[in-house]
Structure 1
Amino acid sequence: MAIIIAGERSGVGKTTVTLALLAALKARSPSNQTLVQSFKVGPDYIDPMFHSYITGLPCRNLDPVLTSEDYVRSCFAKHSRSAEYSLIEGVMGLFDGATGKDDTASTAHIARLLNVPVVLILNCASTSRSIAAIAHGYRTFDPRIQIAGVVLNRVGSDRHLELLTQALEPLNLPILGVLRRQDNIAIPDRHLGLIPTAEMSDLNGIIDRLAYLGETCFDWEKLLPLMGSPHPLSHGDRGVIVAPHLLREMGLGGGGLRIAIAQDKAFSFYYADNLDLFREMGAELVPWSPISDRTLPENIQGLYFGGGFPEVFAAELTENKTARESVYKAIAVGVPTYAECGGLMYLCDHIVDFEDKSFPMVNIFATAAKMGKRLTLGYRQAIALRDSPLVKKGDQVWGHEFHRSSLTEISDRPLYSLQGYDSHLQYPTEGWQKHQVHASYNHLHFGSQRHLLSRFLVNCQKSNN
């Protein structure tokens, strides 16, 4: 069993409540050995970094669009079975889905799939008795959703709390937590959300304050039984592991494949499940830093550049000329390379930041990545227009875009034609393919698209023969 933290809307305090609960759970263990497994609904990268920093375990994304309903069930069962407590952070408002037309990929969708109770956060600012109408509406909107209780956020005073409690009493809906207005803990953010953990100098202090908030503001006698019950292993759990005979059929599994993965302040957006699948398919992921390492690691057969904030660290990436040259030479001789979003930007000729300053990059693609105010956001179904190290022409894959940059030139060899989750929404062609590079703004989850990863690794193995 677990609980899923939901909000009545975006910005109501889901992340603060989730982090406070996680921090308090860890702090309640004298030896700090309590196993707390966290999950995040949707394609988020940054919130899971905070989860993992607190729990010491990789946070797992639960996304039925990028993967599948079966994968969500099996991923949750696999990773919650050995934890003492499990906690899921929702996305947007409880019933807000991928298109707004229904609740597909919403917090409610995941709550139904996993049959877990919802803890609903209510914004109590500027309201008193009306809070009961809001809570009643959320409780009855979908009878399949079990709302275990509410957390009252932004409570102004003892008198305000008294009025809220009186209003909610007829609903017999437990109040599981109360956060005052002054309890809000500010976590700094920028153009794509929270600032990642690796860049925060006072992170431990923030975690300590969150742990105190969690310990003092929640009803643990009611919460612990909800989070601590063992969750039965679903029949789909075995689907997360790649069987050895399948690896042999793909020509993989013998070991020896070394994939250089860019991991530093500029490149940090990776799904934990994707990294696990690399290893399960016989690849060794070799971390390196395009900011601080002078060259690529030795004896590598593939390159992996995830997303992140290369625009923020563009000056440092430019300064490390030998690393850029090392990447250029590896790609030029045919090392298979997968680059998504920030990785695509790094392989461009230049990055132009928000102040219109231009910084030379690897120069594989004759275009610049220019930062702008417009946010490109959403799920994309991508239809491959040509072969790449990951896809065959005609393949259809699901991905997610989340960026404020755009490319100044259109590729003469685009990877994809795109449409949104709503199939009526069409987008321009996207992605670049050159040498043995697959580069795109589309972030991919390999959980239900493992053939893409296996094809990439097969190509890496072939390039080494």
Structure 2
Amino acid sequence: MTAVPRVVVSAPSSGHGKTAVAVGLLAACAARGLTAAGFKVGPDYTDAGYLGLAAGRVGRNLDPRLVGPQRIAPLFAHGSAGADIAVVEGTMGLFDSLAGRAESDSTAGVASVLRAPVVLVVDVAAMGQSVAALVHGFRAYDELLWLGGVILNRVASDRHEQLLRDALEDIGVPVFGALRRRDLPAVLPARQHGVVPVAHRTVEALRAVRRLGEAIAGAVDLDRLLAVARSAPRLSGEAWSAAAAFADAPPLPVGPGGRRPVIAVAGGPALSYGYAETAELLAAAGATVVAVDPLVDEALPAGTDALVIGGALPETYAEELSANRRLCAAVAELARAGRPVLAEGTGLLWLAREFDGRPMCGVLDATGVSMDQIVVGYREATARASTAVAPLGARLVGYKHHRGVVNPRAGQAPAWTWAAGAPEGFVWRRVHASQLTLHWAGNPEIAHRLVAASTPSPAALAPGAVPAQGGAPAPANGGPVLTKTGPSAPVPAQAGAPVSAPAGVPVSAPAGVSVSGAAPVVQPAPAPVPAGAVPPAASGSAAPVPGAVDLTDEPTADVRPPATRPAAPTTPVGTPDAGRAAPPAVGGAEGEA
């Protein structure tokens, strides 16, 4: 499969500085002229973004829970192809797992699959000879762990460094370098800004990566570390391939004249707000993938047939999202025209009527408000409707990490349900919006279904063709539709108007609207349900998944936006560790450095 030299950078726990060290290692190697590749264990977009910025190629995530342990080595081989060195940054502590499955989901588990040496970053600011006991304990805890060496962080003095080196020499553990307390500059932008500084290649982000690389190059014996990385054995098996994911998939419909559907993926000029494999899978499935930046672009790309909004778009940019009224109107029109719109995380808040008192796209009759706590955790979810994402009853594993809470939590047709949790998300026409984030490499059929749903029919491209009748924002649990004024005002839904759908991809239509392929039938709308209430499960709906992971859940009570408009987000600069800590998390957040 691959013989790329590689190391896994981990730590005893969060807060030891492993993100700054991993970014600095990649930047220092790139400055030497080496072709580098960066990876992040777990679902964290932000760290993967900075690792990619330092390496000069897109950073990727290796999450056994989202993609399956069997895909970790193939995805690594795919992302590291042609590299001289690959650096994998771990998550939390070396043996920690947010899902409680340390043997497969922890950093140690990933290092074992990759047969890679582990470099342990240890904050020794308040430690002496005890560092030997700590490191020895980590090495002895798993006899199969390959502990390649240690990087000491926040060393006080030359004497302190020598004391630490002597203690580790006694147990036979190499020390690759020692960083003084101020060697790692506090330059990484605060975590609340997410991947945006990377996606936009801001001066702040570029300067941060360069300074971390200089710090590592001056304090770490790179030659010795690279020698250990090059001793990693060749991995067996085939590298992951987006094209191979569809080898057994049924053929997709072909547009008129062989036209490929145009699918816009939200992202900045240098990075999408989602996992890199999403765009690769869409292209392999037959789509023309184009980028649209919700923060600056005022229109969708020409000929857009579908829109994908990944979960990495930060909530703190609500003001910029709201101010881009032209793009909001274009997205609303795309949804009303019956085009597929897939939104995850903040994408759901963007499609709502308003978020923190600011107007959004108005596609969904829902409001969002920021809370003090962060909801975080994996979910084993069951699809509550057949959509371009999944068929009814399909079970997928996703991840939640958000502060914004949506009211109501679910629409009349929810997107997902899971054990011990109320239904969540919205399905309306071909809109699928939820705060659950999926990794498409673990579910490549999503790309296949979306391309099928996005392929235009001959009638849609005929001269003078009229798009599907527009509708008002998706009603929340049968609640009243709130009309809006201005150019983006929704058009009232017409009962009985057919909604076109490609073959093989069912569409969930709103009450009173039939799906094309049969004579229009006016269906009675269901009885209204109070906003925020959970509608009864439809006949044939999948039951909650037994044993699903549900570390925490949002409140289901009525949550209303604040009466006063909150201040616009500032742009503070935090430290690689404490300065990037998130607010207290519900359900066990990483609080990653």
Report what 1:340 is aligned to: 344
5 Å matches for 1:64-463? 64-100=64-100, 102-186=102-186, 187-191=188-192, 196-197=197-198, 198=200, 200-228=202-230, 232=234, 234-237=236-239, 240-242=242-244, 246=248, 249-251=251-253, 256-264=260-268, 268-309=272-313, 311-352=315-356, 358-410=357-409, 411-419=411-419, 426-461=420-455
Q: CA deviation at 1:236?
A: 3.4
- The 1:304/1:293 distance shift into structure 2, 3 A limit, reads same
What is the RMSD computed on CA atoms of the aligned residues?
2.3
Report what 2:516 is aligned to: none
Q: CA deviation at 1:27?
A: 1.0
Between Structure 1 and Structure 2, which shows a larger proportion of strand residues?
A: 1
Unaligned stretches of 5+ residues in structure 1? 353-357, 420-425
* Paired residue type of 2:25: L
Cα distance between partner residues in 1 of 2:447 and 2:193: 27
| Post-superposition CA distance 1:13-60 (Å, at most 9, x none) | 11111011111101112xxxx311111111111111112212221112
Cα distance between partner residues in 1 of 2:413 and 2:241: 35
Cα distance between partner residues in 1 of 2:173 and 2:291: 48
Cα distance between partner residues in 1 of 2:215 and 2:314: 34
Q: CA deviation at 1:299?
A: 1.2
Report what 1:422 is aligned to: none
* Paired residue type of 1:399: G
Cα distance between partner residues in 2 of 1:69 and 1:384: 23
* Paired residue type of 2:222: W
* Paired residue type of 1:405: G
- The 1:397/1:237 distance shift into structure 2, 3 A limit, reads same
- The 1:277/1:101 distance shift into structure 2, 3 A limit, reads closer
TM-score (ref. length: structure 1): 0.91
Unaligned stretches of 5+ residues in structure 2? 461-593
Report what 1:355 is aligned to: none
Cα distance between partner residues in 2 of 1:381 and 1:192: 28
Whether the aligned pair in 2 keeps the contact of 1:96 and 1:103 (CA below 8 Å) is: no
Cα distance between partner residues in 2 of 1:45 and 1:20: 18
Whether the aligned pair in 1 keeps the contact of 2:195 and 2:273 (CA below 8 Å) is: no
Q: What percent identity do the matched residue pairs reach?
A: 33
Cα distance between partner residues in 2 of 1:80 and 1:255: 33
The one of 19, 28, 35 aligned to 2:23: 19
Q: CA deviation at 1:214?
A: 1.5
SS at match of 2:148: strand
* Paired residue type of 2:372: K
Q: CA deviation at 1:66?
A: 0.5
Cα distance between partner residues in 2 of 1:264 and 1:220: 33
Cα distance between partner residues in 2 of 1:188 and 1:79: 25
* Paired residue type of 1:437: V
- The 1:282/1:417 distance shift into structure 2, 3 A limit, reads same
- The 1:255/1:45 distance shift into structure 2, 3 A limit, reads farther
* Paired residue type of 1:188: P
| Post-superposition CA distance 1:418-441 (Å, at most 9, x none) | 24xxxxxx2221111011011111
* Paired residue type of 2:309: F
SS at match of 1:269: coil
- The 1:237/1:100 distance shift into structure 2, 3 A limit, reads same
SS at match of 1:110: helix
